[in-house]
Amino acid sequence: DEASALPEATGDARSFRDLILAKLTYAVGKDPIVARDHDWLRALSLALRDRIVDRWMATTRGVYRMGGKRVYYFSLEFLIGRLLKDGLNNMGLLGTAREALASVGVDLDVIAELEADAALGNGGLGRLAACFMESMATVGVPAYGYGIRYENGLFRQNIIDGWQTESPENWLAYGNPWEFPRREVAYEIGFGGAVEASEGWDGSAVHAWKPAETVLAVAHDTPVVGWRGLRVNTLRLWSARSPDPISLDAFNAGDHIGALTARTKAESISRVLYPADSTPAGQELRLRQEYFFTSASLQDLVRRHLKQHREIRTLAQKAAVQLNDTHPAIAVAELMRILIDIHAMSWADAFALTRDTISYTNHTLLPEALESWPVPLLERLLPRHMQIIYAINARVLTEARAAGATDAMIAAVSIIDEGHGRRVRMGNLAFVGSHKVNGVSALHSELMKETVFRDLNTVFPGRITNKTNGITPRRWLMTANPGLAGLLRETIGEGFLDDAEKLVALEPFARDPGFQERFAAVKHANKARLAKTIQQTLGLRVDPAALFDVQVKRMHEYKRQLLNILETIALYNAIRTHPEKDWVPRVKVFAGKAAASYTSAKYIIKLINDVAKMVNTDPAVRNLLKVAFLPNYNVSLAEVIIPAADLSEQISTAGMEASGTGNMKFALNGALTIGTLDGANVEMRDHVGADNIFIFGLTAAEVEARRAKGLNPRANIEADPALAEVLDAVGSGVFSPADPQRHRGTVDNLTNSDWFLVTDDFTSYSAMQRRIDALWGTPAAWREKAILNVARMGWFSSDRTIRDYSDEIWGLPTVKVG
């Protein structure tokens, strides 16, 4: 019979199979005979969760007993992706689960693909928060992540006739096996109303905020497993609930719909993630989200602190609050309110305690991305906080004046921007309320001192520090690229699993022909897998033997997907003009979402798709060039694309990409980088060696100088006939014959302003691409460089980043695993 054809499970796999079957029966309510793939996924997830929960409670108990400091990572975004395989891997249960499922005729890889991708974030900032959560559990930092449990995460991107459209992504449709709702952990969050001042027992002023409106924040906890399952931390996400779900008076008066509007308004706070990753929306609902989760989180950690330590004055010794960008910057005022209004602390003590507790990470220098809120809006929504912000500002400006600040410096240091109709600068608020402020790469941190925070850096020297970003090698190497991880294990042993810097042991194998062959075979298998995805989603056939040249990230002008597609067109022209040359077959892979309102970014998506349509069907190209735009880029798709890349495109205008983290993921997986000297690319060059990375283009200083003297894109275009030809073709509708004017705006913008210096860097970029072709022609040389990249990328593990935060910002000890 059929069942006897199945492999028999042994040992651990047997007991794990029994646990899965018990979950299937008693938690899912399905007989194995009729269970569908989704039922098996849920049963497996619940079985794994049981194992995780045991470690979770042990960790939580241990942390409490130690009585030490906890880290609270405040982030409006956690771009988690799927949790099953990463959880199995960290728990050491991947093989066990595979065997257990096989014994009941189920394929782990098939059901793992059904898990929803938790996209509670936009891009780099949100994914960094997720990598940090995993690394904090791994290196033994007792940490809580605090954020919002959005019902709808980042939108789904559909490509229709080459254009992006957006639709809601319902990640909770099949339920979420990883979370534990904590209905009993709920806090009141106030909005609006007025501040009542009275006189305290000693004659001092006492302020009581009487909000007009209250919303409840309800906790949902997700365990976060570290490597080898040794420690499990908590991600606590808040969901908004109305304290009065049905307005009974209205309901009884017969207004059944009206009775629900208050509830709808309250619950809209955690309905959806704001999908912009650069320009703040400036909408009231966004400010409500920011205050909602910040207040709930501070109330929660203060309650935990008092329960354990009794005394509010020791807060900074027991709690470190890290602000992920300015989105939770209102924490400075909210903590002050809690300390002064509720715990009757003096101003000076409260401010010292706040500053000792809080620190702030900056992720961008783009002026349009810096958050500021109109004073009248803050005044209406959070009147007490506005008072506190004014009071903080008065003291800071007095201090600055005493330190010799000029009027211009005072204006720059002020929390209030008087220039644009009085706004609260959240960056300045976060800065003055923090003991440390950090950038996310060496270059970015230096630029912070010279640009946005120049004067604050003078008044508060030493406060700005650098913490170069990192990525978790568990998800981005072991889980995403099991083929490579397995080869590395066989070659250099298991040490790198516990300490990514041990990957250097691979260096002696870089030129070893036998190893090179096996390394290339892994890459080829990953490329075949991506080719299959491309075939299935786009109906496009690509050859896994071609050079896979990949740019995947949010669509943004500064990231310069436009530079890449223009160079692709130049290559297309050259192939047709010189069919006799021996061109390197290339597959250009693009993916990324544009903010729904970012029109020029959406036109770039359309241009890529227009070019793809023409190039992919042109017989003159003889399959030497293919262009693929994969829709709906997310963490799960990244896990397929990144291990399959030969070439990683990191080509932002120098000085504009704070760090980048995709750059690290590609290099760790053996792709070579073509990139500008921007963000962490600079440090990647230092680590992998200048011979093993392709750096081109203007430096940040040169970009600044060229902008200062005035850009001259027309001269750049005139100087490069290939570029001129490309722009003529795009502008005149060669790729959009049905609508020849379609890309006119894009070309005009390049010709007349070119703020992102695409035309300045085009020629050197193009030349570098041809050098890359030449190297591809010598596989042994290419592979040597790729292997050296893997060997030397260990430093970019987020474990290292977290140790740096622990040592230099949080004042915490960390432990080694393994």
Residues engaged in binding ligand 26M (CB under 6 A): 122-125, 128, 274, 276-278, 280-281, 286, 363-364, 369, 371, 440, 469, 657-661, 679
| Nearest approach, Cβ of residue 371 and ligand 26M (Å) | 6
Whichever of 414 and 469 has its CB closer to ligand 26M, that residue is 469
661 labelled catalytic? yes
Report the distance separating Cα 533 and Cα 542, nearest Å: 10
Please tell me which residue in 96, 222, 661, 759 is annotated as part of the active site.
661
Q: What angle do CA 361, 132, 808 make, to 5 degrees?
A: 55
| Nearest approach, Cβ of residue 275 and ligand 26M (Å) | 8
Q: Which of 608, 623, 491 is nearest to 544 (CA)?
A: 623
| Nearest approach, Cβ of residue 659 and ligand 26M (Å) | 4
Q: In which residue are the tokens 């201090």 written?
A: 399
Residues ≥6 apart with Cβ < 8 Å to 99: 7, 9, 10, 13
Whichever of 69 and 475 has its CB closer to ligand 26M, that residue is 475
Whichever of 259 and 443 has its CB closer to ligand 26M, that residue is 443
363 labelled catalytic? yes
Report the distance separating Cα 263 and Cα 155, nearest Å: 24
Whichever of 94 and 447 has its CB closer to ligand 26M, that residue is 447
Question: How deeply is 327 buried, as exposed, middle or buried, from its count of CB atoms within 10 A (0-12, 13-18, 19+)?
Answer: buried
DSSP code, position 173: T
Largest alpha-carbon pair distance within the chain? 92
Report the distance separating Cα 428 and Cα 594, nearest Å: 28
What is the enclosing helix (H) or strand (E) of 240? Answer: strand 232-241
Residues ≥6 apart with Cβ < 8 Å to 372: 280, 417, 420, 423, 424, 425, 426
Q: Which of 489, 517, 514 is nearest to 503 (CA)?
A: 489
| Nearest approach, Cβ of residue 555 and ligand 26M (Å) | 13
Please tell me which residue in 554, 742, 783, 792 is annotated as part of the active site.
554
Report the distance separating Cα 403 and Cα 367, nearest Å: 27
85 labelled catalytic? no
| Nearest approach, Cβ of residue 362 and ligand 26M (Å) | 9
| Nearest approach, Cβ of residue 276 and ligand 26M (Å) | 4
Question: How deeply is 491 buried, as exposed, middle or buried, from its count of CB atoms within 10 A (0-12, 13-18, 19+)?
Answer: middle
C-alpha dist (Å) from residue 337 to 169, 284, 330, 557: 37, 21, 11, 40
* Cβ pair 240, 292 in contact under 8 A: yes
Please tell me which residue in 82, 467, 559, 803 is annotated as part of the active site.
559
- The conformational region for residue 105 under phi > 0 = left, psi -120 to 50 = alpha, else beta, is left
Whichever of 401 and 602 has its CB closer to ligand 26M, that residue is 602
* Cβ pair 48, 223 in contact under 8 A: no
Whichever of 427 and 713 has its CB closer to ligand 26M, that residue is 427
* Residue 650: strand, helix, or coil: strand
| Nearest approach, Cβ of residue 305 and ligand 26M (Å) | 29
Q: Which residues pair with 674 in a beta bridge?
A: 649, 694
3-state secondary structure 406-459: CHHHHHHHCCEECCCCCEEEHHHHHHHCCCCEEECCHHHHHHHHHCCCHHHHHH
Whichever of 93 and 333 has its CB closer to ligand 26M, that residue is 333
Q: Which of 651, 496, 683 is nearest to 560 (CA)?
A: 651
Please tell me which residue in 288, 363, 586, 626 is annotated as part of the active site.
363
Please tell me which residue in 156, 384, 553, 800 is annotated as part of the active site.
553
| Nearest approach, Cβ of residue 119 and ligand 26M (Å) | 13
* Cβ pair 108, 97 in contact under 8 A: yes
Whichever of 273 and 298 has its CB closer to ligand 26M, that residue is 273
| Nearest approach, Cβ of residue 203 and ligand 26M (Å) | 42
Whichever of 363 and 606 has its CB closer to ligand 26M, that residue is 363
| Nearest approach, Cβ of residue 645 and ligand 26M (Å) | 18
| Nearest approach, Cβ of residue 299 and ligand 26M (Å) | 23
Closest residue to bound ligand 26M by CB: 124
Whichever of 172 and 366 has its CB closer to ligand 26M, that residue is 366
Q: Which of 479, 634, 473 is nearest to 135 (CA)?
A: 473
* Cβ pair 550, 663 in contact under 8 A: no
DSSP code, position 364: -
Name the CA dihedral angle for 753, 757, 758, 763, rounded to a multiple of 10 degrees: 120
* Cβ pair 122, 275 in contact under 8 A: yes
Whichever of 30 and 554 has its CB closer to ligand 26M, that residue is 554
Please tell me which residue in 288, 593, 665, 685 is annotated as part of the active site.
665
559 labelled catalytic? yes
Residues marked active site are found at 363, 553-554, 559, 661, 665
